[in-house]
């Protein structure tokens, strides 16, 4: 097993049906085949406390209480996920791949939820408490293509609270994710999510491999043994 001194935190962001979950699985497989210890997780959820809140959020049960309430619930779930799962894993040198994270809150609650930016920023600060992703891959595609894929996805005949919103809202989110990538070009990378699955997977792997140590105190024999 290749061990890292400190783990690597990679988040997957973008609209519905962009291929986040598909690519997360493929990246986990590729990294494990190279000998790395990988933890895959998702938001909202990822820890027992946060999974309990996930249902409330995605069923729409909290929608009638307003977007501030929803935003605080997302932050509560994120805080639990960070402290119970993400931070301890990173401290052990594990690579953590997370399906949606803080940028989804910036976009869904901040931009298309019309919440004040200062409120969203305050919640983010409390929720992540310094655990900022080392790399965020933003899967970009026209909202109509993503929604069509999401609708065709097996077992997805009941769109969740967010999937069922207007196309215009989804397009606004696409722009908001691209805006985040422009502002934080060190952390974020945008991938053209209309490409074939394998082409995207190769690109995502290269974006993450660029952050992994090569030969500087790391045991590379495990990498060589499996290649």
**Which residues are annotated as part of the binding site?**
14-21
Longest dimension (CA), the chain: 55
From the list Mg ion, ligand ADP, none, which binds 45 (C-beta under 5 to 8 Å, kind-based)?
none
Asked if 153 is part of the footprint of ligand ADP (rule: CB under 6 A), the reply reads: yes
Asked if 43 is part of the footprint of ligand ADP (rule: CB under 6 A), the reply reads: no
- Convert 1-30 to b/e letters by CB count within 10 Å (16 or more is b): ebebeebbbbbbbbbbbbbbebbbebbbeb
Asked if 20 is part of the footprint of ligand ADP (rule: CB under 6 A), the reply reads: yes
Q: How far is the CB of 126 from ligand ADP (least distance, A)?
A: 27
- Tell me which of 21, 169, 218, 220 binds ligand ADP, using CB under 6 A: 21
Q: How far is the CB of 79 from Mg ion (least distance, A)?
A: 22
Asked if 21 is part of the footprint of Mg ion (rule: CB under 5 A), the reply reads: yes
Q: How far is the CB of 193 from ligand ADP (least distance, A)?
A: 6
Asked if 30 is part of the footprint of Mg ion (rule: CB under 5 A), the reply reads: no
Asked if 205 is part of the footprint of ligand ADP (rule: CB under 6 A), the reply reads: no
Q: Which is nearer to Mg ion, 21 or 194 (CB)?
A: 21
In this chain, which stretch among 10-18, 45-53, 55-63, 67-75 interacts with ligand ADP, using CB under 6 A?
A: 10-18
Asked if 18 is part of the footprint of ligand ADP (rule: CB under 6 A), the reply reads: yes
Q: Which is nearer to ligand ADP, 3 or 195 (CB)?
A: 195
Q: Which is nearer to Mg ion, 21 or 30 (CB)?
A: 21
In this chain, which stretch among 63-71, 72-80, 110-118, 144-152 interacts with ligand ADP, using CB under 6 A?
A: 144-152
Q: Sort strands 38-42 and 95-99 into parallel, antiparallel or unpaired.
A: parallel
Q: Give DSSP secondary structure letters for the chain.
A: -B--SS-EEEEEEESTTSSHHHHHHHHHHHHHHTTB-EEEEESS-SSHHHHHHHHHHHTTTTGGG-HHHHHHHHHHHHHHHIIIIIHHHHHTT-EEEEES-HHHHIIIIIITTT--HHHHHHHHHHHHTT---SEEEEEE--HHHHHHHHHHSTT--S--TTTTS-HHHHHHHHHHHHHHHHHTTTTEEEEETTS-HHHHHHHHHHHHHTTS--SSSS--HHHHHH-
Q: Please report, in range form, the residues annotated as the binding site for ATP.
A: 14-21
- Tell me which of 106, 149, 170, 173 binds ligand ADP, using CB under 6 A: 149
Q: Interface residues with Mg ion (CB under 5 A)?
A: 21
């Amino acid at each position: 097993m290749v061990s890292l001194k400190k783990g690597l935190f990679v988040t997957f962001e973008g609209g519905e049906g962009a291929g986040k979950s598909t690519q997360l699985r493929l990246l986990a497989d590729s990294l494990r085949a190279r000998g790395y210890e990988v933890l895959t997780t998702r938001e909202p959820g990822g820890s027992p406390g946060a999974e309990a809140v996930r249902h409330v959020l995605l069923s729409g049960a909290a929608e009638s209480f307003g977007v501030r309430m929803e935003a605080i619930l997302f932050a509560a779930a994120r805080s639990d996920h960070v402290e119970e799962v993400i931070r301890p894993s990173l401290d052990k040198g594990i690579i953590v791949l997370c399906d949606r994270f803080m940028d989804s809150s910036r976009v869904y609650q901040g931009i298309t939820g019309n919440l004040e930016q200062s409120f969203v920023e305050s919640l983010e600060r409390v929720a992540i408490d310094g655990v900022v992703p080392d790399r965020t891959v933003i899967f970009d595609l026209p909202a109509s293509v993503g929604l069509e894929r999401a609708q065709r996805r097996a077992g997805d005949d009941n769109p969740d609270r967010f999937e069922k919103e207007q196309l215009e809202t989804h397009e606004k989110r696409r722009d908001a994710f691209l805006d985040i990538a422009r502002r934080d070009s060190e952390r974020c990378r945008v991938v053209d999510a209309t490409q074939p699955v394998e082409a995207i997977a190769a690109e995502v792997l290269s974006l993450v491999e660029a952050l992994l140590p090569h030969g500087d105190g790391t045991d590379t024999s495990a990498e060589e043994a499996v290649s």
